[in-house]
Chain A
Amino acid sequence: MIAVVIASVVLGPQLTRLPNGIPVIVDAAAGDLVTLQVLVRTDDLTPLELGAVETMAAALLGETENYSLRELRRLAWSIGGAVVAESAGDCMLLQITTTGDRLRPAAAFISDALRRPAFSKVALDEAREKNAEQQAWIDRTPPLRELRTAVAAKGLGPTVVSSLTQEQARSLHAKVVRPERVAISVVGNVDSDTVALVLGASLGHWQPESPRPAAPIGADAPRASASFRTALAMVKGPLPKARGFAAWMAACIAIGEGKHGHLNRVYRVERAQSYVLGSHFTFRRDAAYCTFYVSTTGEAPADFAATVTQYRANDADASRAKAYLIGRYQVGGPTEVGRFGGFAIGHETDAARAFWLAWWEMKGAGISKDAAFADEVRKLTTAEMAAATRDWLLD
């Protein structure tokens, strides 16, 4: 096994496809643990569907037709591992971290969760409670509610859906969780042959039925305003696989992130107005979006959109933004806000590395983009970053 692991590490991540086309990426790493991660793209869904996916994801691992989650969850918990199913902005994420000798039951379980979730009343009730807790946190934590409301209003992010019937969950599941929307990555002490064997047996011939119609999903009423007021400005950018993506990301970082970011300089250092400011990314099937925000207990700044549009990065700002983006890509985002978008995850853990490999593949950029992205950012010029910000503000 050591020889196999060494060979895999030298070769780097390897991509294969199951008979039904699902991409499977395997990246060998030393240690006892294995992370099995499944991403399901949700970047083309409507706000109502995205809101419903948040509940559906939480109910996905409640129970399946063949397996009880309890024992696996307990085992994972006791070794410090995790069993996770959640909506993560532009995708749904299912993940099991466990010891290498449990890869087979973990794969069988995750396959069952993908193919045959029961969506029992208990699972849906638990999911609703979990979501209500999450929603309460969003409601009280500026700028999350204002941010989500604004992104949803543009048809780009989830609206609040607190209740989902079994019929609705099954219909949505059949529409969203399909082989052509899935990418799988496995990182840890494992070799690609074993993974191909295990996943091929459980998911290789998965051909789901067509979705059945269900009653329309209902949205919740918007919540009342909190003690903070938030100003927002949204800009549009290219797809992750497109040529200008790195320049656009760096331009957004120059404005929105870090103590030397433009927003921090204006609204914290110069005006002592805000402690909560930054940027939030939304990656959709047709484009990427960045929403800048500043929250304050006083009046939200009226000049916020102008602050964003009139900014032009100089060489020093560009240099800082590039370094910051590379560092963030390696280490992860600094705030909870990022959890609802992209680029909040670094590369420190096997689970984080698994995420990026599957994410780039899912976005059509290929797994090699993971290793190449930092270098691409490093080579950017100030002019390229400036070009990325031309006419980028949405109404």
Chain B
Amino acid sequence: MIALIAVAAVSPAVFTERLENGAWLVAIRIPGAHTFSAQTFLRAGSVFEPAAESGSTHLLEHLLFADGEADAIAENAGFLLNATTYREFMRLHTTGPADAWRTGMKAVARLLNKPAAASTDAEWKIIQQEDALARLDPDEAVHRSLWQSSASGSPWASLPMGNAEKKPTASIAALHGRYAVGSNVVAVIAGDLPGEEGLRALRSAYEPLPAGSPLNAPKPPIWAGGRQGSFGTRFGVGAAAPGYDAHAAYLAIEVAIEALTAPARLQPLGLEAKSFLTPSSRGSLAIISFAATDGALGLPVRAGRALEPPVSEAEFADAKARVKSRYASATPTNCALTAGLSVLFTGRVINFAAESAVVTKAQVDAAARGFVK
């Protein structure tokens, strides 16, 4: 127990390795963690889809679960598998009791087995239900509209979920051969585990993957106008956000968003806000979605006032501390997510907690101005 107390203050230790098939493996040792997190990232998503195949990656994601085998492994060990498809990556993940990390890692890896296409029609009906559910969220309209108007004509305008009206026709086997290959995979295991042992377990699970061909996301568009608008009870504003290739600038916009949506800034204006910033390799769209908490009129004007630069010194200090605290939080889920995405996008582990300390107010003010351009 003394040893536990002594090492609990030590930062997580990160071990990385790259297999011959191109897969990156990341094991993160977090002494004293009560849970593990297993996360695998695929370079896959709507920006890689031809227009006629919109939604095909999301359909593949569903079919990876269709035989129930990976779920059975996970649920019999006490945890749930989950997955999400974004524009530039697919995330397969689970969190479970600390001592079950090997089983968790195996269950996530099992998802990469080639799926049978037999369940495609049934799973498409489920996706239509998922789409109907998503549309009940007012922020979904903000998202869909701002992305489509800002990235019009580029693959970035496509929805990760696809078009529920039109089932994609792509071959499931071909999609699987394109995405679920070593050169497009980063596998992460994080928890209270020996780093070398974590890497060894990952190696045996991911070595069998074929190398495949590495994918590169298309260059982000020059974000066009129309980056704001009213959608029902919400008013959305977008700004061009840097990617992990410019991680100092990425952190600056993260701090800016935190400052612009701080309760002390919004409450006097009778506003609440939600922010959305998805990590990317070279850039994406950041969105702040406002709503009036008092039900009064003038939402766009009040949102405009909330976004007025500059960010005050106190707001900057609070927001920076909060972002740093988020990255410094050594939960297995957070550590695995940040490390996995930074390796997927840059080929190395970025220490965001340390780098957030050097973000300057000038950088944050510049990032905040992006929302009022």
Contacts and interface: CB of A to CB of B under 8 A. Distances in A.
B133 A2 contact: no
Contacts of B133: 142, 228, 275-276
Contacts of B233: 136
A132 B334 CA distance: 31
A272 B125 contact: yes
Nearest to B233: A136
Contacts of A140: 136-138
A5 interface: yes
Interface in A312-339: 319-320, 323-328, 330-331, 334
Given A228-B133, A276-B129, A297-B132, A319 B95 contact: no
B318 A9 contact: no
Contact of A10 (B1, B96, B293): B1
A77 to B, nearest CB: 7
A296 B125 CA distance: 11
Contact of A129 (B65, B138, B293): B293
A141 B1 CA distance: 45
A297 B130 CA distance: 10
A259 B233 CA distance: 35
- Chain A interface size, as a band, is 35 or more
A362 to B, nearest CB: 23
Interface string B73-99: 001111111100000000000011100
A273 B32 CA distance: 42
Contacts of A272: 121-123, 125-126
B322 interface: yes
B129 A274 contact: yes
B71 A330 contact: no
Given A78-B318, A129-B294, A142-B133, A268 B126 contact: yes
B51 interface: no
Given A227-B136, A228-B132, A320-B76, A331 B318 contact: no
Contact of B80 (A30, A297, A334): A334
A346 interface: yes
A327 B77 contact: yes
A383 interface: no
A25 B217 CA distance: 53
B357 interface: no
A31 interface: yes
A74 interface: yes
Nearest to B94: A331
Given A10-B1, A258-B75, A327-B77, A275 B34 contact: no
B78 A326 contact: yes
B293 A141 contact: no
B5 A6 contact: yes
Contacts of B97: 326-327, 330-331
B110 to A, nearest CB: 13
A222 interface: no
B321 A258 contact: no
B297 interface: no
A226 B136 CA distance: 9
Contact of B79 (A10, A77, A274, A331): A331
Interface in A264-283: 268-269, 272-276
Contacts of B5: 2, 5-6, 9, 30
B321 to A, nearest CB: 5
B68 A258 contact: no
Contacts of B295: 132
Interface of B: 1-2, 4-5, 8-9, 32, 34-35, 65, 68, 71-72, 75-82, 95-97, 100, 121-123, 125-126, 128-130, 132-133, 136-138, 233, 262-264, 272, 291, 293-295, 317-318, 321-322, 325-326, 329, 331
21 contacts: A6-B1, A6-B2, A9-B1, A9-B5, A10-B1, A30-B4, A79-B325, A80-B326, A140-B137, A227-B132, A227-B136, A228-B136, A260-B71, A260-B75, A275-B129, A275-B133, A297-B128, A324-B79, A330-B96, A331-B78, A348-B35
5 closest cross-chain pairs (CB), A and B:
A327-B78, A80-B325, A275-B129, A30-B8, A272-B122
